[in-house]
């Protein structure tokens, strides 16, 4: 059973329900994404310290835009969901795991084709499992 557990119309905490969204994986994967992007830039001799800040800021801004669009879509379409905004933030943060896999595949092979294939694979897997 992959569904979230609920008790009296409230989601149960992650310590009780193993399928409940947590915030550790999205947060650590976002930080790791910024560091891996810096590593890839460093190996290409294009690294500057400002690049880390630019990647982190860009990731944060795109996350805010993504969550805003989701919340606005829920509001406009009058979608009633038990998901709260924090749950949406957690679910949207899981994309960084796939982005790390794609970046590492590019780092290891130095091939844009392998990078795009890895990105396509993790995108399909993420859309299937979430």
Least Cα distance to 104 among 37, 55, 52, 53 occurs for: 37
Helices (H), 12-111: 24-43, 49-76, 85-93, 95-109
Residue with tokens 């999205």: 26
Span 43-79, pLDDT tens digits: 999 999 999 999 999 999 999 999 999 999 999 999 9
Q: How far apart are the C-alpha atoms of 128 and 130, rounded to whole Å? A: 6
Q: Quote the pTM value.
A: 0.83
Least Cα distance to 99 among 33, 41, 26 occurs for: 33
Residue 92: which pLDDT band, with cuts at 50, 70 and 90? very high
Cross-strand pairs, 7: 10
């Amino acid at each position: 059973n992959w569904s979230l557990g609920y008790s009296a119309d409230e989601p149960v905490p992650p310590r009780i329900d193993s399928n409940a969204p947590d915030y550790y994986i999205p947060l650590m994967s976002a930080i790791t994404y910024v560091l891996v992007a810096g590593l890839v830039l460093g190996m290409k001799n294009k690294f500057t310290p400002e690049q880390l800040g630019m990647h982190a800021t860009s990731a944060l801004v795109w996350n805010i835009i993504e969550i805003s669009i989701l919340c606005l879509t829920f509001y406009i379409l009058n979608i009633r969901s038990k998901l709260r905004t924090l749950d949406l933030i957690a679910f949207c943060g899981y994309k960084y795991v796939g982005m790390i896999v794609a970046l590492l595949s590019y780092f290891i092979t130095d091939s844009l084709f392998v990078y795009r294939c890895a990105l396509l694979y993790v995108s399909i897997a993420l859309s299937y499992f979430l």
